[in-house]
Chains A and B, each alone.
Chain A
Amino acid sequence: MTETDPSSGADRASRRGLTRVVDAGIELGDNALLHLDPARWSRSPARWLLGWWMVAQFAAQMLVLALSPTSYRRHQRPFIYRQLYASTAPTLPGFVALSALLSLVIIRIVIASAAAYGLSQYALDVLVRTLVVELLPLLVALYVALRFTMPSGEEVADMRQQGVLHAIWQGGGDPARDLLLPRVLAGVFSVVFLAALSAVLALVMTYVSLYGFTGWGFAAYTRDVGQVFTPAATLILGLKAFFFSLVVAILPIAPNPRYDGAPLRPRDEISQLGRLFALILLIEVLSLVGNYY
């Protein structure tokens, strides 16, 4: 981790690069943003593309910040830790209960139907493929979006609206690094952590449902699980979880072109959720195509 002087030339240049997106609401001005109103996007594909371009640019800058060691200096860690904790800890019990319940229901349905059709030997395969690989990551992404990143994005929008980000910028601070990056990192962490946790939980519950609290089925179970997770399937699952986490963490926090000085209306949140959901579904469909074609 390298310490650099904030007043150095290189740092100033990077700050200029960040200005446009991070303080979009301030730099572009209200009129410019009005032209980017999503309600008008449908009338103009160019504006629609411009809106997504802004989101993509914000995402790229967040990735660059996340990958640069200077974002993890000692005095920035408390911000990251606070968001990390806020993203995961309060939602953990509720999520564990929800995912356990959902897993249990699906496991029972699959095992009972497989037994009814005399295909018990394929129950585990079906469970791992549907529950662990497809359903749980999707559930986690939506859960984290609803419980953490969308409220968090609302906070950021409020701060943008109240000029807090601009004030920090004027005061020599870096709002992108201190306020936005920790939220993005927390969103990514939360999705990956909860996905891993729910997958492990589902695997354990599947084992217990199939074999009970005994150890004799472990070898056969492990072998069957291993047959599902081919290198390609594992890679696709990893990529899917990563892109889910990026979409969930970045999209709600990205500057909202709708911003025009007025508070966000519920309709905007719904449209934002719609965009989020569309992106998640796109990733899911791509992963399915990769897995089964």
Chain B
Amino acid sequence: MPEPIESPPPVRHLELKARLLLLAMVLLVSGAVGYLMYARGAFERTQQVVLVADDSEGIVVGMSMTFYGFPIGRVGRIELSPDGNARIIVDVRHTDAHWLRTSSVFTIESGLVGGTKIRAFTGVLSDPLLPDGAERKALRGDAAAEIPRMVASVRELVNNLGALTNQDAPLNASLRNLQLAAERLNGPRGAIGVLLGNDADARRLSQALERTNTLLARVDGLVLRADGIAQRTDGMIARADQQVFGQDGVVSETRATVVQLNGLLADARNSLKKVDAVLVEAQAIGANTREATTDLGSLRAEVESSLRKVEHLVNEINRKWPFARDTQIKLP
């Protein structure tokens, strides 16, 4: 085997070094492939969640589903269901699947900047676990969809602002008046001039203020005198106190009177008890009288029958008596 004309200087342990290089390349490439497979989730045990959404715009295979900002799964497949909805099949890592419960809510959000995000929310972590292959409706929140509405509102706002700042707008007129008022505020009469409008009234107001001041000085004197009166009244009240509540005051005498009244009342109660006994006896007398009255009734009946007999006898005598022809009986 002929050698090349320009052979490079021999390298020591050439074969070993070359083999090491080859080994290094194999390690690098296989390591990179392994890392990428790990990063793509080839070695993870997963379970599936099927999200049903109106449209799958912005969703790409491989994007993450986050739970409070932490990625717990990735989109594995997107397909169109027979009823026209997008079915997003998300592979959730088995170790993170316990965050998803039957009450979990899934949202698809598209921001103004950046890609679409799939988020999961779980309010009640004590609910039953979401089963493998469960199908859930995904709520869609689209910031871009809000823009036209916002633009319309802003246009309305700008129109209103334009109307407000117009040359003959009420706000403009108010501002002009305000400016006038501010100028007058800075004038010699100040706020009073602004309030009253003309100088004559303002002058009168100043005079009234001066008179009020003198009045106040007099009121001060009056108050001082009233103070003196009040002090004297205080002395009188102290003396009255002494007379009313003192050693020989009205109150102590009243108390003695009340004691005497108590004694009088006890005597009266005794008298009343005696009257009670008298009344009981009177009741007994009344009962006896009622019995006597009953006897009197029967006596009266007997007397009446005797009288009727006597009358009958007199009638008989009168009829039989020849001198008496008048049959009329004259009652006494």
Chain A positions within 8 Å of B, measured between CB atoms, are 75, 77-78, 80-82, 84-86, 88-89, 119, 121-122, 155, 158-159, 162, 164, 167-168, 171, 173, 178-179, 189, 192-193, 196-197, 199-200, 220, 222-223, 225-227, 229-231, 234
Contact = CB atoms under 8 A, between A and B. Distances in A.
B1 A173 contact: yes
Closest 10 CB pairs of A and B: A226-B39, A81-B18, A196-B28, A193-B25, A222-B39, A84-B18, A226-B40, A85-B18, A229-B36, A225-B39
Contacts of B6: 155, 158
A138 to B, nearest CB: 18
Interface in B105-162: 113-114
Contacts of B15: 77-78, 81
Contacts of B36: 225-226, 229, 234
Contact of A193 (B24, B40, B74, B113): B24
Given A222-B39, A223-B39, A193 B21 contact: yes
A164 B14 contact: no
A86 B17 CA distance: 11
Contact of A227 (B8, B38, B63): B63
Contact of B71 (A119, A167, A179, A220): A220
A192 B33 CA distance: 13
Interface of B: 1-2, 4-6, 8, 11, 14-15, 17-19, 21-22, 24-25, 28-29, 31-32, 35-36, 38-41, 61-64, 71, 74, 113-114
A200 B24 CA distance: 12
Nearest to A225: B39
A223 B155 CA distance: 43
Contacts of A75: 1
A232 to B, nearest CB: 10
Given A85-B11, A189-B25, 5 more contacts: A82-B18, A85-B17, A197-B28, A223-B39, A227-B63
A80 B11 CA distance: 13
A78 B24 CA distance: 19
Contacts of A230: 61-62
A173 B39 CA distance: 49
A162 B5 contact: yes
A162 B4 CA distance: 11
Nearest to A226: B39
A150 to B, nearest CB: 16
Nearest to A179: B4
A89 B32 contact: no
Nearest to A229: B36
Contact of A178 (B1, B32, B64): B1
Contacts of B39: 222-223, 225-226, 229
Contacts of A196: 25, 28-29, 32
Contacts of B31: 200
Given A220-B71, A226-B36, A230-B61, A121 B5 contact: no
